[in-house]
Amino acid sequence: MIFMPLFAYLLANALQLSEAHTIGLVLVGCSAGGTASNVICYLAKGNVALSILMTMASTLCAVIAMPLLSYIYLSQSVAVPVTDMMRSILLIVFLPVVTGTAINSFLGRYLIRVQGLFPLFSSVAIALIIAIIVALNQHNFASLSWAVLAAVVLHNMLGMGVGYFIPRLLKYDTAICRTVSIEVGMQNSGLSVALAMKYFSVAAALPGAMFSIWHNISGSTIASYWRQK
């Protein structure tokens, strides 16, 4: 939550985005890690336990960090929906972990037989997420400019790059480098869309909507590459 808001602010100014699109991109940068990052981390042969921990930690920190960072970069603080975020942690992160651990404890010896199918199921889930996001936001894409698209792509790539190379310089193993890369580059852009719509405008929600699609595509692509190495 240090690099991504800064990258968003610098990219928005470098590409001369409109005020609304600048707000939207900065809100993406201020958001917590995306919950889909845990699936991408699994596909990339990263450290899934670390991925889950980072997602939970960044979501908890976002309660304080998002209002503070939005005030620093946008001169306007936004109220974070704490109850919704806690519910998100419970339903999307904590509950699946507990359920999966319980299933593995009782049925682990049977699951080994179908373990090879898990990456396929995960890939299908990511594809469905992308399809749903596109369907829900297709009316917004009419106002999409090349500058906004470039900003979203570069924002994601810079986050993943910094997230990979800093742990690499610190001599961490490959699995951790991949995990941090995914966690830094993938954001809870759905939250940024909701906040943009509530406090700003429909145009401000566009970068978040685009980021929701792009980070799943880029994450899946790089996960597929890493999985083969």
Residue 35 lies in a domain: yes
Dist CA 86 CA 94 (whole Å): 10
Residue 164 lies in a domain: yes
200 in any annotated domain: yes
Assess contact for 188 and 32: CB atoms under 8 A.
yes
Look at residue 105 and tell me if it is in a domain. Answer: no
Total number of domains constituting the chain: 1
Task: Reply yes or no on whether the pLDDT at 175 is more than 90.
Answer: yes
Dump the DSSP string for 50-83.
HHHHHHHHHHHHHHHHHHHHHHHHHS------HH
Please report whether residue 108 resides in a domain. no
Separation between Cα atoms, residue 193 and residue 187, nearest integer Å? 11
Q: Give the pLDDT confidence score for residue 25 in this predicted structure.
A: 92
pLDDT reported for residue 145: 82
Residue 13 belongs to domain with CATH number: 1.20.1530.20
38, 219 contact by CB (below 8 A): no
110 in a domain, yes or no? no
Residue 200 — pLDDT band, cuts 50, 70, 90? confident
Of the pLDDT bands very low, low, confident and very high (cuts 50, 70, 90), residue 29 is very high
The pLDDT tens digits for 60-90 are 888 788 888 888 888 876 776 667 766 766 6
Task: Look at residue 106 and tell me if it is in a domain.
Answer: no
**The tokens 């992308």 sit on which residue?**
130
Domain of residue 37 covers 3-94+117-227
What mean pLDDT comes out for the span 202-215?
A: 86
CA 69, 63, 126, 166 torsion: positive or negative?
A: positive
Can you read off the two tokens belonging to residue 191?
């939250």
Let me know if residue 112 belongs to a domain: no
pLDDT, residue 114, reads 61
Tally Cβ neighbours within 10 Å of residue 60. Answer: 15
Token pair recorded at residue 141: 């894409």
The residues, ordered by sequence, that sit 6+ positions from 217 with a Cβ below 8 Å of its Cβ are 130
Q: How far apart are CA 212 and CA 178, in angstroms?
A: 20
Q: Which amino acid is at 52?
A: I
Q: What pLDDT digit, counting tens, does each position of 143-158 carry?
A: 678 899 999 999 999 9
Measure the N-to-C terminal CA separation of the chain; round to a whole number of Å: 29
- Please tell me the pTM assigned to this model: 0.82
Whole-angstrom Cα distance, residue 99 to residue 105?
Answer: 10
Mean pLDDT of 190-209: 83
Q: Are 3 and 150 in contact (CB under 8 A)?
A: no
